Chains A and B, each alone.
Chain A
Amino acid sequence: MLAVQIKAKEEILPLVSSKRIFIFECLGCHDVYYPVEEAQKLIDSIDQEIVGRATLDYLCHADYDREYIKAYAREIERAEVILVFSCGVGAQVVSSLLDDRKVYTCCDTLYLAGFQGLTAKEFDCDQCGECYLNYTGGLCPVALCSKNLLNGPCGGSQGGKCEVDPDMPCVWQEIFDRLAGLGQLETMDRLGPPKKWNVSPA
Chain B
Amino acid sequence: MKTKSNLERVLESGHFAVTGELGPPASADAGVIRKKAKLLKGNVDAFNITDGQTAVVRMASWAAAVMGKEEGMDPIVQMTCRDRNRIALQMDVLGISALGINNMLCLTGDHQKFGNHPAARGVYDLDSIQLLRMVRDMRDEKRFQCGDEMAVEPRLFIGAAENPFADPFEFRVPRLAKKVEAGADFIQTQIIYNLDKFAEWMKGVRDRGLHERVKILAGVAPIKSLGAARYMKTRVPGMDVPDSVIERLQKATSKEQVSREGINLCVDIIKRVREIEGVAGIHLMAIEWEEVVPEIIGAADLLPRPVFAE
Chain A positions within 8 Å of B, measured between CB atoms, are 146-160, 163-165, 170, 173, 176-177, 180, 185, 188-189, 191-195, 197
Contact = CB atoms under 8 A, between A and B. Distances in A.
Given A160-B167, A176-B171, A151 B238 contact: no
Given A150-B130, A157-B238, A164-B113, A173 B108 contact: no
Contacts, number: 91
Contacts of A189: 174, 177-178
B127 A155 contact: no
B237 A163 contact: yes
Contacts of A151: 127-130, 175, 178
A188 B171 contact: yes
Given A157-B238, A164-B113, A173 B129 contact: no
Nearest to A141: B127
> In terms of DSSP, what is the predominant structure of the interface of chain A?
loop
A194 B134 contact: yes
Nearest to B161: A155
Contacts of A192: 127, 129-130
Interface stretch (B9-17, B59-67, B118-126, B253-261): B118-126
B238 A147 contact: no
Interface residues of B, number: 35
Interface of B: 82, 86, 108-109, 111, 113-114, 122, 124-130, 133-134, 145, 161-163, 166-168, 170-171, 174-175, 177-178, 181-182, 190, 237-238
A115 B242 CA distance: 49
A153 B127 contact: no
B126 A153 contact: no
A148 B168 CA distance: 18
